[in-house]
Amino acid sequence: MSLALLLMVIIESAAEKLCPLRASIDVLEGEYFFLCYFESMQGCFQKEAYTINWYKENAGKQQLIKETHRIVSQMNLLEFWPAELSDSGNYSVTHSKGKQIFTVQNWTLNVLERNKSSCFNKNHLTTEIKNAGVGHSLKCSDLSVNENDSIVWYKDCKNYENETERELDFKTLRVEHSGIYTCKILIHREGKIYYSTNTIKLVVKEDAPEAMTLEMVGRNEEIETETGKEEILNCTGLLANTMQEDASLYWLINQTFPKKCTGIPEKEPSICEEELKTLPLGNKVYVTRLLRIKNVRDEDMHHNFTCIFQMDEKPQIKIVKLKKGKTQDLPVHIFMTAMALAVLFPCVAVAAVFFCVVFRIDLVLFYRNICRRDDTAGDGKEYDAFVSYLKDCVSPTEEEREFALTILPMVLEENFGYKLCIFERDIAPGGAVVDDIHSFIDKSRRLIIILSQNYVSDRAIYELESGLHKALVERKTKIILIEYMPISDYSLLPESLSLLPSKRVVKWKKDSSLPMNSRFWKKLRYLMPAKPTKINTKEHHNNLDVGSEGDKPQTEGCDFTAPV
C-alpha cells in the first residue's frame, strides 16, 4: 500500500478510532490502551474468510500473542486491561488465508512509568500554544470503547470546575487559562473501573502568534556509495514558531518502519534508526533523525529510503536512493594490484602498507598533481574557502590575525592557486553582516576555522555555528579546523563540534609548521578541494618570514565592529 493511500485512510478513519500510524507509541502504565488497524483495509482481501494474528517480538523472533484476562484480541483491536511496563516492545498484526500471510501494520509500544507524585507524566503530554482573546476547545482523545464512559477534567492535578464533557470549551481565552489539563476517561469492565488519560499543556499568549511553519531541509537525493560501505542518511526538518511536540519525524524503508539503534555494536541491526536530535536556534528548532546502514548491500540500491516530516497530518516527504558511485583519489585497479602483490610477496606487502599509512597524504597529493584533478570545475562556487578567525581582541592574538591575513593567503593563494574569502579583506563594509556571512559561506567550498582559546569568546563564534549547521544539517560545506592555540575549556564550544571527524583538524606547531613542505601545509591541501596547481619553488617561499615583534601593529582595546 502506497504512503498516499495510507494517509487517505488516516483521514477517512479518524472519526472511527484512534489508530496510530507511527513508528513509536507512548502509553502510561496502569491505563487501558488498545492497538488497532483500519477496518477499511479488510477490503484488500475482498471480504473473503481470513485469519487475524497478533505478534510481539521476543529475542528477535515474532511470537504469537495468546489472549489472557488482561490482553484481549477483538478483530482489528488488541486491548490491554491495563498496560504494564512489560508490554513494551515491537508488535505486528497479520492477515492470513491459506498459505498467504500479509503483515498489515507494525508498531513499537513504549509503556512509560507513572509519576507517583503527579497526575501526569511530563513525557506524555502535547502542547498547544494559543493567542488570548480567541475561542478554543481542548479535546479528550477517544481512547475508550464506549462513548458513554464518564469524563473528569483536571487542571494542574486539581479537579477543574466539575467538567465532564469530552471537549473543554473556552469562549474567550485568557492568560490565566494557561496550565496543564488532564482528561481522565473512566471505563467499566466486568465490575471493575479502568481509566485512560490524555494530558495537554495549554499556553496562552497575549501577543498575536506568528504563523507556524514546518519545512523539510533538502530535497530528494541520490547518494553514490559502494557495497560493504557504511552510510548514514540524514533527515532534517525545520520548525518555526511552534513546539517540537507538534511534529513527528521518522524514516520508512519501502513503507516499513526500521528498527531502533541499540548503541551496542554487536547487537546493532544492519539498518536502524537513531534517536531524534534537536538543535534550537532562536525561535527555530532543527530536528534531525539519522538512518544508519551498517553494510550497504546490492538490494539496498533498489530501496526507497523515505523520510516523513509531519504535523497535523500534512506530511512533507524526502526520498533518498543509493547508487553505485565512482572511487575517488585512488583507482580500484591500483588497490587490487597492491593486494595481489601482498599475496605474492608478503614482505613487500607489509612495507607497502606501512608506506601507504605513513605517506597517505603525500600519495594523494601526488596522485592529484599527476592526474591534474579538478573538483572545483562546474560546481558554481566562487571561493575555495571562507576563513573565520578571531577578530575582536588584538592584544593577545596579533600573531593569529597575521596568520589569517598574511601567512595563510600567501601560501594557499600565491603558491597553490586557491582563492580565499577573508571577511576583513574581501567583503565591502556597509552590508548586512549576517546575510554577508551566510552568502559567502554558501559561495565557498570549504570553511576554514582558525580555532584558539580566545576564539570561543569572540563574536566570530557565530561563523562557527553557521558553518556547523551547513556541514552537519544541510551538508553543503565541509569544515577544516586549524587549532592555532591549544583549547583548555572545550565546554564553551558548540556540542555539535564533536560530530566532526578528527581527521579534519589540523594543528599549527609554530616554527615547525612554517615551511611549505611541512606536514601542516600538506594536510591542509589534502583537506582542500583538488585543484591543478603550479607550486612556486622560489627559495624565499620555502620558509615564511612572519615578521619581528617590532613590525606587528599595535592596537589598544577591542574592536567590537567585527562581523558576528
Host H or E run for residue 127: strand 126-131
Cell (9 digits) for 560: 567590537
Q: Grid coordinates representing 540?
A: 624565499
Alpha-carbon dihedral angle through residues 40, 45, 48, 49, given to the nearest 10 degrees: -90
A 10 A CB-CB count for 66 gives 8
Omega cis (within 30) before 331:
no
3-state secondary structure 473-498: CCCCCEEEEEECCCCCCHHHCCHHHH
| From 39, 210, 463, 465, the catalytic residue | 463
**Is position 463 annotated as part of the catalytic site?**
yes
Phi-psi region of 166 (alpha: psi -120 to 50; beta: other; left: phi over 0): alpha
Q: Whole-angstrom Cα distance, residue 328 to residue 339?
A: 18
Helix axes 433-442, 461-472, angle to 10 degrees: 40
Mapping DSSP to helix (H, G, I), strand (E, B) and coil, where does residue 290 land? strand
Cα dist from 484 to 221, 232, 447, 508, 510, whole Å: 37, 31, 15, 5, 9
The secondary structure element, H or E, covering residue 182 is strand 179-189
Backbone angles phi, psi at 298, to 5 degrees: -60, -40
Distance CA 441, CA 476 (A): 10
Residue by residue, DSSP assigns 78-105 as EEESS--GGG-EEEEEEEEETTEEEEEE
What CA–CA distance (Å, rounded) separates 403 from 390? 11
Helix locations, 106-170, DSSP H: none
Nearest to 4 by CA among 20, 502, 293, 12: 12
Q: For residue 274, what is the DSSP state?
A: P
HSE toward the beta carbon, residue 473, CA cutoff 13 A: 21
- 305 three-state secondary structure: strand
Region for 100 from its dihedrals, namely left if φ exceeds 0, alpha if ψ lies in -120 to 50, beta otherwise: beta
Whether residue 217 contacts residue 238, with contact meaning beta carbons closer than 8 Å, is answered with yes
The answer to whether the CB of 26 falls within 8 A of the CB of 121 is: no
Number of helices (H), then strands (E), belonging to the chain: the values are: 11, 30
Please list the active-site residues: 463
